[in-house]
Amino acid sequence: MQSTDCALPAPQEAASTPVVVAGAGLPLAALLALATAGFITILTEASPAGLLLQISADLDVSQSLAGQMVTIYAIGSLVAAIPLVALTKTWRRRPLLITAISGFAVVNTVTALSTDYVVTMAARFLAGVFAGLLWALAAGYASRMVPPQQQGRAITVAMLGAPVALSIGIPAGTLLGAMAGWRLTFGLLSIMAALLVGWVLWSLPNSPGQRAERRLALSSVFRLPGIRPILFVMFAVVFAHNILYTYIVPFLEPSGLDARADTVLLVFGIASLVVIPIIGALVDRHLRLLVLASMMLFAAASLLLAVWGEQSAAIYIGVVAWGLAFGGAATLFQTASAKAAGTEADAAQSMIVTAWNAAMAGGGLAGGVLLDSVGAAIFPAVLLAILLQAPAVAWASRHGFPSRSG
């Protein structure tokens, strides 16, 4: 779907040049289109977590194998993000975004229709490839549409689709899957993606890529101050999250809440959504404090679930704290990356996408191994062990997580 101009280097401006003048309001229509793309991406990624029982029964596989639908998706993003961004760095942004969104329409249709586990997993891998491209574009696209002092707010709006998907989309998809079959959820996602293409064409500027002569090698971007600590901390948080989120249904079984997984996911999602206005208001000035606070809250939630994980009330309290801690993760780490990388934001974002999805894949694999070998009750203790490492790294990195930014 690439137009002829998308294959040519930008003749006039670099990718980091804002297309909105300083002092103007946020371009909400364009940012919300990016948020909707993120909504579709997250819903495509995480829907199997709430539909494990239906998927495993329909495809005649175990729950742990059904959970690998999340893992293979993450692997697709993991292997694709950096090569695709490197290949398309000088291309115009809008045709690339439309290609990624259109890809979701196709692969979700295949997922909805497939009755073969291998075909389904192939479609999920390709969905991850398109997600890798989309997420690598989104934060840089948002930050280029505003002046530097509004980049955090713009990225917050563009990342809004993730918590909305978690708070509304996943529980709704889980309920819909229980009532009408899991395939309908993926069919509706295909329709949404097709409609979004028109919105993107109408609302987003066709901003240029980066001049070839201004490009740094990826290895040089990786060595920029702050980038490696950001990647490490984000990996730890996402890895821990995905162990529990992917296998939330078996984790809930001892408490008897497994039949209410849609409600538990709704509580998690609402908590994730509630924290977003706070993140948006403070991220440009207090990025460091927000990152440290979110990690400690996540660790506290893990401790609560480790000690009282069979009690319904404790689970709901822990899930609320977990949602509050994780709801702003995408915004926090993508904002930190964009600010640390400057004009190399897209390259840094491709690393964020790669590390994020490596953590997603690793968490899915680790969770599956733990589920089959030890049982889901061990999850919170494993999360706590992982999360206790990250705050020290974040605290030590003044470049990656500055006290005041923007």
Band of pLDDT at residue 219, cut at 50, 70 and 90: confident
Give the DSSP letter of residue 1. -
Kindly write down the DSSP assignment for every residue of 144-196, as one continuous string: HTS-GGGHHHHHHHHTTHHHHIIIIIHHHHHHHHHHH-HHHHHHHHHHHHHHH
* Single-letter code of the amino acid located at 246: T
Distance CA 160, CA 165 (A): 9
Cα angle for residues 259, 116, 122 (degrees, 5° grid):
100
For helices 227-246 and 312-326, what crossing angle results, to 10°?
150
**pLDDT bucket at 211, cuts 50 / 70 / 90:** low
Residue 337: the pLDDT is 87
The pLDDT-based confidence of 22 (bands split at 50, 70, 90) is very low
In the numeric block, which tokens belong to residue 347? 């390259």
23 confidence band (pLDDT: 50, 70, 90): very low
- The pair of structure tokens assigned to 208 is 């240029």
Q: Is the pLDDT of residue 221 over 90?
A: no
pLDDT of residue 9 exceeding 50: no
Arithmetic mean of pLDDT over the chain? 83
**Helix 151-158, helix 117-144: angle, nearest 10:** 150
More confident residue, 21 or 391: 391
Mean pLDDT of 180-188: 88
pLDDT attached to residue 110: 95
For the domain spanning 25-206+217-396, the CATH number is: 1.20.1250.20
Distance, CA of 49 to CA of 56 (rounded, Å): 11
Q: Is the pLDDT of residue 333 over 80?
A: yes
What distance in Å separates the CA atoms of residue 245 and residue 40, rounded to the nearest whole number? 18
Answer yes or no: is pLDDT of 109 > 90: yes
DSSP-assigned states of every residue in 340-353? HHGGGHHHHHHHHH
Averaged pLDDT for residues 342-349? 74
Half-sphere exposure of 217 (CA within 13 A, CB side): 3
Closest CA relative to residue 255, chosen from 309, 209, 181 = 309
Looking at residue 11, what DSSP letter applies?
S
* 345 pLDDT above the threshold of 80: no
pLDDT exceeds cutoff 60 at 17: no
Sorting pLDDT into bands at 50, 70 and 90, what band is 154?
confident
Mean pLDDT value across residues 338-361:
79
What is the predicted pLDDT for the residue at 5? 32
Q: Has residue 357 got a pLDDT over 90?
A: no
Q: Given this model, what pLDDT does residue 217 score?
A: 66
**Picking from 78-82, 113-117, 251-255, which range would have the lowest pLDDT averaged per residue?**
78-82
Conformational region of residue 196, where left means phi above 0, alpha means psi within -120 to 50, and beta covers everything else: alpha
Closest CA to 406 of 224, 212, 153, 195: 153
Buried b (16+ CB within 10 A) or exposed e, 167-192: bbbbbbbbbbbbeeebbebbebbbeb
- The per-residue pLDDT for 382 is 95
The answer to whether residue 228 scores a pLDDT higher than 80 is: yes
Whether the pLDDT of residue 174 is over 80: the answer is: no
Q: Are 236 and 390 in contact (CB under 8 A)?
A: yes
pLDDT digits (tens, 9 = 90+) for 233-248: 999 999 999 999 888 8
pLDDT of residue 4: 30
Q: Is 211 exposed, middle or buried (0-12, 13-18, 19+ CB in 10 A)?
A: middle
Query: Cα angle at 362 between 161 and 107, to 5 degrees?
Result: 50
Which residues have C-beta within 8 Å of that of residue 346, sequence separation ≥ 6? 15, 85, 89, 136, 137, 140, 210
Give the domain ranges of the chain.
25-206+217-396
Report whether pLDDT(127) > 90: yes
Return the pLDDT at 201.
92
The whole-angstrom separation of Cα 283 and Cα 53 is 39
For residue 284 the two structure tokens come to 């440009």
Q: What is the pLDDT of residue 210?
A: 61
Where residue 381 falls among pLDDT bands split at 50, 70, 90?
A: very high
3-state DSSP call for residue 85? Answer: helix
| pLDDT exceeds cutoff 60 at 159 | yes
What share of the chain in percent tops pLDDT 90?
A: 36
Q: Which residue has the tokens 């103007």?
A: 24
* Model pLDDT, residue 399: 84
Per-residue pLDDT, 98? 93
Q: Is the pLDDT of residue 277 over 90?
A: no
Residue 171 clears pLDDT 80, i.e. is over it: no
